[in-house]
Structures are given as C-alpha cells and as structure tokens.
Amino acid sequence: MHRKPGVSILLDRLEREDNARIYYKPYYRREDFDDERYRPSFTPLAYPGQTLKITGRLEKFSGSRMGITPFVRDAETGKIFSAGYTFPAPGEKFLCEWRIPEVPFAVAEAGLLLMNVEAAKFLGNLVIEEFSITGKRAFTVKFKDEKSEFDGLSRCSAVGGSWMLENGGLHVLTRDYFLL
C-alpha cells in the first residue's frame, strides 16, 4: 500500500469533548528544562502577524466527526488562542491557514487543536503533510516587560558586550558590537 508523505499521528480512542494538541515548540523558557549547565539563550521563532499554515488529512478508523483548529499558546500565561473549528471529511485533504494573533508575551506552541465532538471515542490518524510559519512578524521588545533568563533576556538573545535591565530600559556597554 502506497502512503502519501507526511507525519502520521495516531489518535487513540480520543473521548467525546476531549482535546488533543499537536504542536511545534518555537520558544523555550527556563521551566522547560531540568538542567541548567549549558545556560542557553532563546529567541522565539514564531511571532504575531505571521501566517501559520497546516495541510493534512484525517483518517478515521472508528468514531464520528473530529473538529480541528489552528492555535498558539502564550509562554507567560499559558492561554490558548485559536481560530474556529472546522470539520474535515475523513480522508480528504484539509488546509488551515491563520494569522497568528497578538499574545501577551511570546508564542510557546503553534499547531493544531483537535476535539472529538460526537462519538463516545475516536480512533484514527492525523497526517500532517505541510507545516509552516511564514511572513512578516509584528513584534516589539518592551524592555520594561523583559526579565533576565539564562544570562539572556526573556524574549531575545543578546550577543556581545555587557548589559543589564534597569529602570525599564536595556543598558549596554560594549567595545565592538551588540546584537539583540
């Protein structure tokens, strides 16, 4: 049997009104780690204003309709922002295209939110054929909202020089260059 390319995810007996999140993690925080020996510095890779595009298909083995919607989760509050649910026909290709909305802090997860809406249980595969985040980002760094994290800023990587957050601003001392 020939299968089309993609990542196949088994949805094993997802109960009625249960949710599942399938996501890409474009940003990590200190609480995502249990080991700090490398002292990493992270910059988000998905931003408000960009377009999240996911194509794929839903293969149903048993159960009824499955609702899907693109979503992002905020890194600070944990709040999930999503579009409206759509209900793709089993086996048919779906397209979710959505402009990432403003979030309070930074996008920690971007992906699909799935919900079994009718049957007692759903069993099937979700096949993701394409996943992309593209376009111009709408993001401004407000230093008064930043924190020092892993020797870096909470939403930016800082390279070169010496810096500190003070009085709502970023103060930098450097001989050559400083990249934010």
* Tens-place pLDDT, residues 118-147: 778 888 899 999 999 999 988 888 888 888
The structural domains of the chain, with segments of one domain joined by +, span 7-139, 140-180
Q: CA 16 to CA 119: how far, in whole Å?
A: 6
Query: DSSP of 57-82, one letter per residue?
Result: EEEEEESS-EEEEEEEEETTT--EEE
Q: Which pLDDT score, from 0 to 100, does residue 22 have?
A: 95
Residues of the chain with pLDDT under 70: 1-4
CA-CA distances (angstroms) from residue 137 to 52, 101, 106, 153? 12, 10, 12, 19
Q: What is the pLDDT of residue 1?
A: 53
Which SS3 state, helix, strand or coil, does residue 109 take? Answer: strand
Structure token pair of residue 155: 């939403």
Which pTM value belongs to this model? 0.86
CA separation for the pair 89, 85 (Å, rounded): 13
* CA atoms of 102 and 67, how far apart (whole Å): 24
For the chain, give me the number of helices (H) and strands (E)?
Answer: 0, 12
In this predicted structure, what is the pLDDT of residue 98?
97
CATH topology of domain 7-139: Jelly Rolls (2.60.120)
Measure the CA–CA gap between 93 and 101, rounded to whole angstroms. Answer: 25
C-alpha dihedral (29, 30, 34, 40), degrees to nearest 10? 90
Per the listing, tokens 């999503």 go with 82
